[in-house]
Amino acid sequence: MRAVRFHGAGDLRMEELPLPVPKAGEVRIRPLAVGVCGTDIHIFRGEFSSACPVVLGHEIAGTVDAVTSGVKGIREGDLVTVQPNTFCGVCRYCRLGREHLCLEMRAHGVHMDGGFAEALVAGAKAVYRLPAGLDARVGCFAEPLACALHGMDRLAVSSGSTVLVIGAGPVGLMLARLSCLAGAGLVAVSEPIAERRKAAYSFGASLVADPGAEGWRESLMEATAGQGFDSVIDAVGGATTFEQAVSLAARGGKVLVFGVAPPDAPAAIRPYDVFSRELTVIGTLINPYTHERAVMILPQIGLEKLSIEVLPLAQLREALDSQASGRAAIKIQIRPQA
């Protein structure tokens, strides 16, 4: 089979590899659509650690083409998505039911081969059937949507409250839509790219601001009568956006750090602001026990409205560059079978 493997920072190679053979309890999947994620970009740049060599790609939708003994509820030909993370099961966090904090967590597309290949093997426990007839380009959003659901669980948006989402990339748009579904009274979005600002309205935002425009902060504060937002979500991941999130939170407000910043990026936050305004800063990591819910709620999110550019496997490097720039389609995906 053909696969693109990561061999180190900036080093991607198209290779011919043996077709993987599933063991008992595993299935083999032919990926049809695989999303390019910020994590893939960080790994490619050498900013995140990973196995090497490894096939990247963890936002996967594809068809099952081999099923082994012991597998229940999955058949050849099923359209499926993959929950990419596996856990040791014996560390303190696993034994407390918090596997996503596992000290030995491993993931397809990071430590194990992922979806930027013509086939991959995954444990059946990590494979979820998608609704029949669902477009694979929508199906591969199940993984980031599962992460967004965990973030929303942590944030616990109240009905009638105010929410600001910083960043209208794919996940920012999902978080805006989920805030609406949770009953937020006002959902605002801050986004510098015009196409993404337009998309934010279609995902339920009632106010959209351009952080590069004069008076953008004032317009957001005015919408809350100068009080700030009950919940602020940094869906970008960076020092500047985190600082903005803290500054725009209301007294007693919550700040959700969803976007993944480079590990060594510092932010300038005054502890007195957290103290005097009684702010809560919340982290959120991956998708513990939310993948099934993501599959169920996919049809309600409206992801088919996104502008999606689909590229063949041979153009993975170009896909990473396009997704990182934010200036092309809102989402870049790879079609490994093309």
Q: Give the distance from CA 291 to its chain's centroid.
A: 12
The chain-wide mean pLDDT, for the chain, equals 97
What span, in angstroms and rounded, lies between the C-alpha atoms of 56 and 54?
6
Residue 287 has pLDDT above 80, yes or no: yes
What span, in angstroms and rounded, lies between the C-alpha atoms of 157 and 164?
11
Q: Is 81 a catalytic residue?
A: no
> pLDDT tens digits for 44-72?
999 999 999 999 999 999 999 999 999 99
Residues of the chain with CATH 3.40.50.720: 148-283
Strand runs (DSSP E) across the chain, as ranges?
2-8, 11-16, 26-35, 54-55, 59-67, 79-82, 85-86, 106-107, 120-123, 127-129, 162-166, 186-190, 207-209, 229-234, 249-257, 280-283, 308-312, 331-335
Residues of the chain with CATH 3.90.180.10: 2-140+307-335
The one catalytic residue in 7, 39, 108, 111 is: 39
Q: Once rounded to an integer, what is the mean pLDDT over residues 188-207?
A: 97
> pLDDT tens digits for 289-320?
999 999 999 999 999 999 999 999 999 999 99
pTM: 0.97
Residue 283 has pLDDT above 90, yes or no: yes
> pLDDT tens digits for 12-37?
999 999 999 999 999 999 999 999 99
Q: Which homologous superfamily is 2-140+307-335 in? A: Medium-chain alcohol dehydrogenases, catalytic domain (3.90.180.10)
Q: Is 58 a catalytic residue?
A: no
Which class is 148-283 in CATH? alpha beta
Beta bridge partners of 164: 188, 232
**Band of the pLDDT at 282, cuts 50, 70, 90?**
very high
Q: Once rounded to an integer, what is the mean pLDDT over residues 225-253?
A: 97
> pLDDT tens digits for 129-138?
999 899 999 9
DSSP characters for 275-325?
HHTT-EEEE--S-TT-HHHHHHHHHHH-GGGS-EEEEEGGGHHHHHHHHHH
Q: Once rounded to an integer, what is the mean pLDDT over residues 67-81?
A: 97
> pLDDT tens digits for 140-178?
999 999 999 999 999 999 999 999 999 999 999 999 999
The one catalytic residue in 7, 42, 224, 241 is: 42
Q: Give the model's pLDDT for residue 328.
A: 74
Q: Give the model's pLDDT for residue 48.
A: 93
* E strand or H helix at 242: helix 239-248
Q: Give the model's pLDDT for residue 262.
A: 87
